[in-house]
Amino acid sequence: MRDPLTALVAVLIVLEIKHFVCDFPLQTLKMVQSKGTYLHPAGIAHSAIHAVASTSCFLVVTPTLPLGAAIILGEFLVHYHIDWGKEQINRWMKYTAAKTGFWWALGADQLVHNLTYIAIAVLLVRTML
C-alpha cells in the first residue's frame, strides 16, 4: 500500500475487527473473571491473544522487526494493564452491570484500547513516510 492515509484507515479497520474478535468470540468466561487478578494465566492469555492478533495489521504495513516486536510487546502490556485497571476500579467502587459507574469504566476501557490502536497505526504509517 503506497498511500499513507489509506494505509492508516486500513490498519485501524484491521485493529478494530481484531479487537471485536478477541474481546467477544475468543474471550472465555474464565478470562473475563480473571482480569482483576494480577498475573492470572487467563488474563495473560487474553492479552497475549490480542497481541498476537495485532500482527494482522502488519499485512497492511510491514514494520521492521524491532518496531514490530515493540508494537506487539507494547500491545500486550498496555492491553493487560488497561483490563486489570478497569477491574480494580470496578472492585474498589463495587460496580456491577446494574450501576452507571460500571458502564463508564467499560467505556473508558474501550476508549483507551482504541487510542492504543491509533498509536499503533500512526507508528506503522510513519514508516511509510
pTM for this predicted structure: 0.95
65-71 contact pairs (CB < 8 A, 24+):
67/123, 67/124, 67/127, 71/120, 71/123, 71/124
Give the pLDDT confidence score for residue 43 in this predicted structure: 98
Give the pLDDT confidence score for residue 26 in this predicted structure: 98
Mark the ranges of the chain whose per-residue pLDDT is less than 50.
Answer: none
Give the pLDDT confidence score for residue 1 in this predicted structure: 77
Over the range 38-50, which residues count as b (16 or more CB within 10 Å of their CB) and which as e?
A: eebebbbbbbbbb
**Domains in the chain: boundaries:** 4-126
Give the pLDDT confidence score for residue 35 in this predicted structure: 95
